[in-house]
Amino acid sequence: MRFVKFEGQAPRQAHTGIPQGVYEREMGKAGFDGPVSHIYQAHPPTAWLRWEGVLRPRAFTTKRLAGVVPSLWDAPVLARSASFEMRFWRHDTNSALCRNADGDLFLFAHVGGGVIFSDFGSLDFEAGDLVYLPKGTAWRVEPSTVCEWLSIESAQPFGIPDRGLLGQHSPFDPGVLESPKLDERYAKQREQSEWPIMVKRRGQISTVVYPFNPLDTVGWKGSLSVIKLNWRDIRAVASHRYHVPPTAHCAFASASVAICVFTPRPIESSADALKVPFFHSNDDYDEFVFFHSGRFFSRDSAEPGALTFHPAGVPHGPHPQAFRNAEQRAGQIAEEVALNIDVAEPVEIVAPPAMELHEYADSWRGYLEQEVAEAGATMAERAEQ
């Protein structure tokens, strides 16, 4: 169903010309690509008093996860659905040899660097790389320092989404994707000894042991490979007159999981344009944001390594301080790097309890306090008259 109806006072162009004291909330289907309405409200949609029951915005910090583990399969699962899984993995020694038979995998290098050896060769990585490991690939990591990874698994295959009229070279040209090399160091790591591969299938780990290193590829051809994309090779789509939706920053997507990468970009400068992310109810998806670096301009406080969760049914949007400061930041560069991971299936949060920042659902309270202060000031003015 595609139609546009107007009722009451509603600007004709989304995210622009929003009257003072009115708050716009986008309510849409299919992750910003389906039927949508903009609802103009007298109060911020996030200015709630309290939540009861299990549903609420949640936040976590990976800084509270202590210790290192030898493989991704030993790392804690943070969230999962029938065809999605997310983990956070820290290690400082050579990892076990792993294979994922449950789906395609992206490893985001939050901290660290080193080499990934796989069926396709050796690939250097650094912080800020998104490394794609196709389902069934055998791989292992030799870190040069302590490494922290966020893993994103999808049972359905990942691909590069259709960019539509934007063309195939934006927000990144597929030419910037790097693939492994069958170089000298790859040949050198093939020492003869017993090598186990830890295979994950249906969430269970089985181990197959070879009398040699099975990463012994001498050649390959085809359109399936380990690849990597660094966020610095993404050229963010932005408009000085219009706040583009998160989907404009989508780098990779499967049928049920979208990975959008927010990279530094100019904040809108046009006088009538909204300069912070619009309040929205993306009710066909559960949403995560993982903060990698910089200062996330729609959040009053978000540290690198933090993870937020906004489930369907919960409107979300900018924090009060960010909303108030938005006009002062017109035309400045939003220096932030974050992953926005949207999942079409209902997600179960299984992160270690120690990671949770329980005060997060109350972090929009500043809106209420401001309204109460303004109402108080108005009453005082009236009393003086």
User: Contact positions toward Fe ion, by CB under 5 A?
Assistant: 287
Nearer to Fe ion, 287 or 336 (CB): 287
Nearer to Fe ion, 29 or 64 (CB): 29
Type of residue numbered 171: P
Nearer to Fe ion, 134 or 317 (CB): 317
Cβ at position 157, least distance to Fe ion in Å: 24
Cβ at position 139, least distance to Fe ion in Å: 31
Cβ at position 247, least distance to Fe ion in Å: 10
For residues 251 and 108, what is the distance between their CA atoms, to the nearest angstrom? 13
Nearer to Fe ion, 210 or 360 (CB): 360
Cβ at position 173, least distance to Fe ion in Å: 27
Type of residue numbered 16: T
Q: Residues 129, 230: contact at Cβ < 8 Å?
A: yes
Nearer to Fe ion, 225 or 281 (CB): 281
* Cβ count within 10 A of residue 376: 10
CA dihedral 101, 102, 104, 106 (to 10 degrees): -100
Cβ at position 75, least distance to Fe ion in Å: 26
Q: Residues 109, 127: contact at Cβ < 8 Å?
A: yes
Nearer to Fe ion, 121 or 318 (CB): 318
Phi-psi region of 129 (alpha: psi -120 to 50; beta: other; left: phi over 0): beta
Cβ at position 316, least distance to Fe ion in Å: 6
Nearer to Fe ion, 200 or 280 (CB): 280
CA dihedral 29, 305, 293, 300 (to 10 degrees): 70
Cβ at position 282, least distance to Fe ion in Å: 5
Q: Residues 284, 36: contact at Cβ < 8 Å?
A: no
Cβ at position 108, least distance to Fe ion in Å: 18
Buried b (16+ CB within 10 A) or exposed e, 16-35: bebeeeebbbbbbeebbeee
- 257: Cα separation from own chain's centroid: 10
For residues 148 and 267, what is the distance between their CA atoms, to the nearest angstrom? 30
Cβ at position 226, least distance to Fe ion in Å: 30
The CB-nearest residue to Fe ion is 287
Nearer to Fe ion, 81 or 230 (CB): 81
Nearer to Fe ion, 135 or 275 (CB): 275
What is residue 128's three-state secondary structure? coil
Nearer to Fe ion, 153 or 287 (CB): 287
Tokens of 77: 């699962």
Cβ at position 169, least distance to Fe ion in Å: 26
- Dihedral sign for Cα 304, 293, 111, 228, please: positive
Give the H or E element holding residue 376. Answer: helix 366-384
Q: What string of DSSP letters covers 135-204?
A: TT-EEEEEESS-EEEEEEEESSPPBPPP-GGG-TTSS--GGG-B--B--HHHHHT--SS-EEEEEEETTE
Buried b (16+ CB within 10 A) or exposed e, 177-201: bbebeeeeebeeeeeeeebebbbbe
